[in-house]
Amino acid sequence: MAAASILHADLDSFYASVEQRDRGELAGRPVIVGGGVVLAASYEAKAFGVRTAMGARQARRLCPQAVVVAPRFAAYQEASNDVFAVFRDTTPLVEGISIDEAFLDVGGLARIAGTPCDIAARLRRRVAEQVGLPLTVGIARTKFLAKVASRVAKPDGLLLVEPDQELAFLHPLPVEVVWGIGKVTAAKLHDRGIATVAQLAEVDEHALQSMLGRASGRQLHALSHNRDPRPINTGRRRRSIGSQRALGSRYTPPRELEESVVALVDRVCRRMRHARRVGRTVVLRLRFDDFSRATRSHTLPFATAETALVLTAVRALLREAMPRIRTDGVTLVGVAVANLADEDPLQLELPFAERGRMSGRALDRSIDAARDRFGTAVVTRAALLRRGPDVDVPKLPD
């Protein structure tokens, strides 16, 4: 049996930890990052029941003494880059999962770096000393169990699951720790008296498939027995590039909503061009006042990173959703482009630019070059002149 050599490294309450690191007066105090919605909460705030994605009003009721701070995404990205530099200095086999977590394979480092536990302890110490952030690490034979181990070890802990103790560790845990089990699936399992991973493992695979669908049933049955053959994937690439903006609980007029959409499209397309990626599927995501969500998408006949083309598609999706927006109100809007591919440098633009008129792609390149040299505020779309700085909300950390 293979040794436990996969590490799942997860920064604790990442956004809130960065705020506590950078502002000494916040150390040990309950901290909430975000205005209309909780983007992150320190463990001191979580102790009062505050959770990520919770409405700000509810969070303040639960923890009125919490310090609420505005997000600083540039600081979070810089901290993430610093942490990942430590990861890659530890092993070349690093698979980033999000801005605040990654898998590391240290199986081949025994002679030069010690046991996986030694490496994990040193990794945590280096991140604390060099970046100033707490890091939890789970160690196991599979990616799935390493992630479960880090979840159990939080906050600021280290946990090794030895190969001969895997099921003894996993089976007493609640089914919610299994990848793919969210609130809806957990409710279905609880209705059938399945509350622990051990009880899930006892259910026949075909019965799970009948209950939850073929793919989900097969996956959950395998994970409940810790069967997860996936290796560390260092070549993992984004399937989509997106951005979103929290609007708060107040009513957002349609004009302001469209301004937010223009800013998001502008940002997303610029990121795609910097990454030399193009995409075909344009996605609009909305969250309403009652916390329900809606996703609308449109697939273009060709892949593009041109701002004007993506914006036209997003505006059409926004018009389709406007009746419900006017009725229910919107607290968050997001834009993404999926079905990504590498940009083809030889691909010709269609339609060709008219003589004497700059093409959309050439215009985008010129704007990108100006912003790269002089800053993002040097060129602003006319539709955004009335707006202040917008708030970009990346994938929420755990």
Separation in Å, CA 221 to CA 3, 19, 147: 23, 40, 17
Residue entry with tokens 């955004």: 384
Residue for token digits 């070549």?
A: 235
Q: Which long-range contacts link 358-366 to residues 24+ away (Cβ below 8 Å)?
A: 360/306, 360/307, 360/308, 360/309, 361/306, 364/269, 364/270, 364/273, 364/305, 364/306, 364/307, 365/273
291 within 8 A of 356, measured Cβ to Cβ: no
| 3-state per-residue secondary structure call for 277-330 | EEEEEEEEEEEECCCCEEEEEEEEEEEECCHHHHHHHHHHHHHHHHHHHHHHCE
Of 19, 44, 95, 101, which one is the catalytic site residue? 101
Identify whether 101 is a catalytic site residue: yes
CA distance 30 to 43: 7
As a whole number of angstroms, the distance between CA 287 and CA 264 comes to 15
Angle at the Cα of 267 (from 263 to 271), degrees rounded to 5? 170
* Ramachandran area for residue 229 (φ above 0: left; ψ -120 to 50: alpha; else beta): alpha
Q: Are 9 and 96 in contact (CB under 8 A)?
A: no
Q: Which helix (H) or strand (E) holds 167?
A: helix 166-170
Token digits of residue 346: 């030889």
Q: Confirm if 17 and 132 have CB atoms less than 8 A apart.
A: no
Q: How far apart are CA 167 and CA 22, in angstroms?
A: 41
Could you tell me which residues come within 8 angstroms of residue 92 by beta carbon, excluding any fewer than 6 positions away? 234
Strand partners, 242: 336
**Active site positions, annotated:** 101
